[in-house]
Amino acid sequence: MRNVAVVGVGMSKHVSKRRDVNIPELVYEAVRPCFDETGLSPKDIDALVTGNMPAFEGLNTPELWGAGYWGGLRKPALRITTGGTTGMSVAHGAIYMVASGLYDTVLTLAFEKQSDGDTTMGLNSVGLADFANVFEYKGDMESVTLSFGGAIGLFVYQAARYMAKSGCTIDHFDRAAAMLRNNAAKNPYAHLKQPGSTAEDIAATRMLTYPLRYGHTCPASDGAVAMILTSEDRAGKIADKPAWIKGLAACSEVATAIGEYGGGSINIDPTEQRSCRFAANKAYKMAGIEDPTREIDLAEPYIPFAHLLFIYFERLLLCKEGDAPRLFDEGVMDIEGDLPTCPSGAVMSTNAIGASAMERIAECALQIMGRAGEHQASKEVHNAVAHGLGGAANFNTVTVLGDKPNRG
Amino acid sequence: MDKKEHISVPGQWPLSSYTWKTERFLDKYVEGLKEKKILGLKCPDCGTVYSPPVSICAKCHTRMRLGEEADWIRVSEMGSVITYTVIYTDVAPGGLKDLAPEERRFFALIQLDDVDTHFLTELKEVSEGEISVGMRVQAVWVDEPQGALSDLAHFVPVEWSI
Amino acid sequence: MQDVEGVVELSLPMDAAFNWSVGAYMERFFGGFKHKKFLGIKCPDCGKVFVPPRMICEDCFAETEEWLELGDEGTVEGYTVAYVKVDEKTGGLADLDEPEIIALIKPEGADTCLIHRIAEANPEDIEVSMRVRAVWAEEIRGELADLRYFKPAT
Amino acid sequence: MMDRRVAIVAYAQTSYESKKDQSREMMVYEAVRDLLEMAGISKAEVDTVVSAQNDYLEGRTISNMRTVGPLAAFMKDETKVEMDGAFAAFYALARVLSGVHDIAIVAGESMASCYPAYLPMTWTLDPSFDRPNGFLNEVSAAAIQAGAYMERYGVSEEQVAGVSVKNLGNAAKNPYALRKMPDIDIDSVMGSRMLYSPIRELNAYPLTDGACALLLAAEEKASEITDKPVWIEGVGNCHGYYHLGDRDLAGCDSLKTAAEAAYRMAGIKDPVKDIDVAEVHEDYSHEELIFYEALGLCKEGEGAGLLEEGTTAMQGSLPVNPSGGGLSANPMCATGLIRIVEAAMQLRGEAGEHQVPGEPAVALAHGQNGICAQQNAVFILRR
């Protein structure tokens, strides 16, 4: 694949309600800084690749409306939507546009304006048809609705099994949440900032559904992210220190917990995340990374719930299975640690859903460029891994970034 | 961000205007439940056993043979807890309300013996201290099965083991 | 092997509700309705005047800034006579009792058109470049519904 | 511009119906099963899967979550383009060109019998004005466009009806088509129910259930799979103005730009001479005339003449839509992909009764997205 560089990154501030702007205007706040910082204008852009979580805002293909606001008029356009993974699936689309040789410089962006929409019904609509069949065959609807109230429904099952397999406790989740809240406080784009948050503060929040507490969950945000990607021959002219795309992969399994139309699911163990390991292996191989535990300097996994910090640290092959809680205890994942993980504060602190997975790449790029500011990792970042999660924890996407392009 | 009243326009996504269609892969399964039998459906290509059944095997991209007697097998009423949850809160007017310990309910993903899939069910006759991943459980039937998914009322811990 | 025939058809009585922010530019546009005027906005680069107003000129990628008062008259640039409408529930095309005129109308002083209804006119009397004038609600609130329809400006 | 040669090596279509007696999952499964069967490969050999689906057509968000199995995408690098299928093919092409993937499944599908007909497209409208006003929808927008085109160039309703007569007559020979009308004439179009003037029922696409799939392969794999590869020589893709009131409705600038890009890449100098057969994605009959002009098959305003002189008829020198086009079947998200598949079938000489004469060597296929073809994708194929 042709080398691809991230040369511009822009993000809007993320808050719970931006009632003063419409969707194209909100996204423009992420796009404008990309152009300002690179000195490029839409004339320099060959294509636009976009997406958001479909069906959350009640707008069908909002790019039809917005792309002109973002410099996309008369450009090739591609809308990609895959659920929670959307932001990274979109970025992968943009990477392939450049890697294919079809285009040289591509603007990519992802967004969500949750305050316009009905997130709960949006999420429920994932399974409406499946639940309808359970209803049709006179299943116990109460158990379905009680145990699947929103996205948390699935993740509690995952968290409980991970605890049993790894031997970690809810206390780990409390401390992970506190670390992420503190990291977010250093990130100017983050939504939920709680400087000085402690594990005790998190532990004092209400248990929603065992084993996850309110303090282990993510907010609903309005926000957007944009990036400019370009080919190797152009990158040096645009940015002094671009971040390079070294590897990418996605992998899809079937949904866990409730199968299609109420059928059984072969995705038996929701903590196994075989698709994540599979994608990570492929992406590392492309990047020439043989031992991610040593060669990866920083990770931005997709963590909307606290327990996922441990699961994805392991499934991204950054340690042996079951070791994540111990490494966390040793401070490895801290901003000052050996393998800083989610210095941005993660999706747990900022969740404009469609944008979230692209923000993982954007955050890795900022860290490699040395432009993360207060949440810049202490160690020098040569290689970083970004991750996206979607569907019913059955879509995984992985992107490996580095400070040097691939050779050979 | 700001306190000013902003103009917004209301709208709807009328999900009630949609129809979804699915194959009748649960017909024979609920017929089995009526006779207090749990049936599984075996993929004719890779042999994966689904219970409840499905119409397509994702693993090997094969259409399941819903009309083929030989592919339907009776499976065990016993299985293991893959994972579980305890419901601590419920939706109430004005937000969530905490449930008292005796009101809390248990749900689990269960994998039946001889089956390659899991499904969601309620666990009863169990306490928060007892429930665990890997716990052996067995099916409890309603007294008079109707040929409905709810005939398989819930699961309880297995009191004995071999 | 006997195949299992037919499908299960499912539906559920559930809808999702939304509330879209119109943004600062459209808020100001609706503010103009209080004075029975269309407000347009001009691109600082190419000078094009947009109605409805918007933040960006797509051609120039420039932020618009200069607001213009355009009155409430315009010309018909295109139209259709509707014999049906989209049913809000089924989405199908349901017959209208009376045909309705839907037109592209370019407000005087604007370079773009908006789409609205023309009433107090027979379909056969409508033609491209005829002048029309807005008819406003009796009680003006500064919202979309203030603009009821257009009629021929004779 | 393309470092690697990529070919269409297999294709599959379901029959197009107004109400299929199966789930959309089974419909997709059958299309992909037939595709793999034609290619003679197993799921294991596929590297990546790109689907075209729209959540407002499916009535559930993350609509690709439940089609992983049917798409043969289990444990694959799978993704979804929420646009017409031609754009999914465009993305899959980029994936193979990058060298990361060698074999890609592309599939598009929808079931109009399950979604509320014309409502999903109204949800693409500006929520601060056009959507709450309720005047605009895809049909009324198309009618305003048809009126603008006819007014500009003095084209009559009968001339526009000629497109329906050609396409629906062609469709009678296409085994997959939904609307087959071997005996159609101008009078039957002019006598059909008036919807929004000048658009009548037979000027508009039929609501359709259906799925379509194709297989792309890099050169070295293509020769293993087929001895009749159809090469993708050029692609173009373009996003145009959103607001109907901003556009020059009598033309289609974004298609013109997309076509120019595709021609440049494929080395097409004179489309009329260089292209042997075309499949365009028209939702309404007047669109096909506008598309002739935007594609450079004739001068602006001469689309009706091109049709009338028979150039675009099945036996003409540049047949357009021998399959019957979107007027004969329009499963949204699949329609543009069907155009690519039909074009490939023509180049392989496998179109059966609707095969055009003269062993075509170069074909054009087109897909559109958004109201009045706001976004367009163009493919140039060569056998």
Strands C147-152 and C131-136: antiparallel
Report the distance separating Cα D21 and Cα D114, nearest Å: 11
Report the distance separating Cα A52 and Cα C77, nearest Å: 35
D286's CB contacts (< 8 A; 6+ apart) are: D142, D145, D146, D149, D150, D155, D160, D163, D198, D199, D203
- Mean pLDDT over residues C65-77, rounded? 96
Amino acid at A282: K
Question: In terms of CA atoms, which chain A residue is nearest residue C63?
Answer: A69
Q: Provide the domain limits for residue C95.
A: 23-152
Q: In chain B, where are the structural domains located? A: 23-157
In this prediction, residue B162 carries a pLDDT of 54
Residue D258: inside a domain, yes or no? Answer: no
Could you give the count of Cα atoms lying within 13 Å of B145 in the half-sphere of its Cβ? Answer: 20
Question: In terms of CA atoms, which chain C residue is nearest residue B18?
Answer: C11
pLDDT, tens only, A258-316: 788 999 999 999 999 999 999 999 999 999 999 999 999 999 999 999 999 999 999 99
Confidence of residue A110 (pLDDT cuts 50, 70, 90): very high
Measure CB to CB from residue B149 to each of A129, A138, A260 and give the nearest one: A138
Percentage of chain A with pLDDT > 70?
98
Residue (of A256, A289, A293) closest to A273 by Cα position: A256
Report the distance separating Cα D40 and Cα B45, nearest Å: 17
- CATH for the B23-157 domain, from 2.30.38.10, 2.60.40.10, 2.40.50.840, 3.40.50.300: 2.40.50.840
Report the distance separating Cα D109 and Cα D80, nearest Å: 12
In this prediction, residue C3 carries a pLDDT of 67
**Distance (Å) of CA D270 to CA A21, D296, D309, D382:** 47, 8, 19, 15
pLDDT, tens only, B25-69: 999 999 999 999 999 999 999 999 999 999 999 999 999 999 999
Termini Cα distance of chain D: 19
Q: For residue C138, with 0-12 CB atoms within 10 Å meaning exposed, 13-18 middle and 19 or more buried, which class applies?
A: exposed
| Neighbour count for residue C35 (Cβ, 10 Å) | 12
Report the distance separating Cα A218 and Cα A229, nearest Å: 29
Sort out which chain D residues have CB atoms less than 8 A from B11's CB and list them.
127, 131-132
Report the distance separating Cα A83 and Cα D230, nearest Å: 34
A208 φ/ψ angles, rounded to the nearest 5 degrees: -85, -60
Measure CB to CB from residue A156 to each of B59, B85, B122 and give the nearest one: B85
Sort out which chain D residues have CB atoms less than 8 A from A51's CB and list them.
82
ipTM of model over 0.95: yes
Strands B56-57 and B95-98: unpaired
- Tell me if chain C has a CB within 8 Å of the CB of A28: yes
In this prediction, residue D323 carries a pLDDT of 98
* pLDDT of A150 higher than 70: no
- Interchain contact, D81 vs A78, CB within 8 Å: yes
Chain-centre distance for alpha carbon D27 = 19
Q: How many domains does chain D have?
A: 1
**Distance (Å) of CA B89 to CA A98, A219, C93, D23:** 49, 18, 45, 36
Diameter over CA atoms, chain A: 64
Measure CB to CB from residue D64 to each of A76, A82, A253 and give the nearest one: A82
In this prediction, residue B160 carries a pLDDT of 64
In this prediction, residue B24 carries a pLDDT of 96
In this prediction, residue A120 carries a pLDDT of 73
Termini Cα distance of chain A: 10
Fold of A4-117+218-402: Peroxisomal Thiolase; Chain A, domain 1 (3.40.47)
Sort out which chain C residues have CB atoms less than 8 A from A28's CB and list them.
55-56
Report the distance separating Cα A238 and Cα D32, nearest Å: 43
In this prediction, residue A184 carries a pLDDT of 98
CA dihedral B15, B17, B23, B28 (to 10 degrees): 80
pLDDT, tens only, A325-339: 999 999 999 999 999
In this prediction, residue D76 carries a pLDDT of 98
Report the distance separating Cα B127 and Cα B109, nearest Å: 17
Residue C13: inside a domain, yes or no? Answer: no
A61 CA to chain B: closest CA distance, Å? Answer: 14
In this prediction, residue D1 carries a pLDDT of 56
D153 CA to chain B: closest CA distance, Å? Answer: 39
Could you give the count of Cα atoms lying within 13 Å of A188 in the half-sphere of its Cβ? Answer: 9
Where is D93: in which H helix or E strand?
Answer: helix D85-97
Residue C4: inside a domain, yes or no? Answer: no
Q: B interface mutation test: which of C5, C7, C8 has the most B CBs within 10 A?
A: C8
Neighbours, chain A (3 or more CB pairs < 8 A): B, C, D
Strands A4-11 and A243-252: antiparallel
* pLDDT of A151 higher than 70: no
- Tell me if chain C has a CB within 8 Å of the CB of B10: yes
Q: A interface mutation test: which of D4, D28, D79 has the most A CBs within 10 A?
A: D79
Where is A348: in which H helix or E strand?
Answer: helix A346-349
Whole-number average pLDDT of chain A:
95
- Interchain contact, C21 vs A113, CB within 8 Å: yes
Whole-number average pLDDT of chain B:
93
Diameter over CA atoms, chain B: 69
- Interchain contact, A54 vs D253, CB within 8 Å: no
- Mean pLDDT over residues A238-258, rounded? 95
Q: How many domains does chain C have?
A: 1
Residue (of D354, D335, D334, D379) closest to D230 by Cα position: D379
Amino acid at D22: Q
Question: In terms of CA atoms, which chain A residue is nearest residue D254?
Answer: A74
Report the distance separating Cα A244 and Cα A27, nearest Å: 24
Beta bridge partners of D382: D231, D362
| Neighbour count for residue D182 (Cβ, 10 Å) | 10
Confidence of residue B1 (pLDDT cuts 50, 70, 90): very low
C26's CB contacts (< 8 A; 6+ apart) are: A22, B7, C52, C53, D128, D129
The pair of structure tokens assigned to D362 is 């170069």
Sort out which chain A residues have CB atoms less than 8 A from B11's CB and list them.
58
B94 φ/ψ angles, rounded to the nearest 5 degrees: 85, 5
Sort out which chain D residues have CB atoms less than 8 A from B19's CB and list them.
113-114
Residues of chain D with pLDDT under 70: 1
Report the distance separating Cα A299 and Cα A92, nearest Å: 18
Q: Provide the domain limits for residue D217.
A: 6-115+207-225
**Domain CATH for D81:** 3.40.47.10
Report the distance separating Cα A48 and Cα A34, nearest Å: 13
Residue D287: inside a domain, yes or no? Answer: no
Diameter over CA atoms, chain D: 56
Angle between helices D285-294 and D253-266 (to 10 degrees): 50
- Tell me if chain A has a CB within 8 Å of the CB of B127: no
Question: In terms of CA atoms, which chain D residue is nearest residue C94?
Answer: D195
Contact B50, B41 (CB under 8 A): yes
Q: Omega into C107 within 30° of 0, i.e. cis? A: no
Neighbours, chain B (3 or more CB pairs < 8 A): A, C, D
In this prediction, residue D233 carries a pLDDT of 98
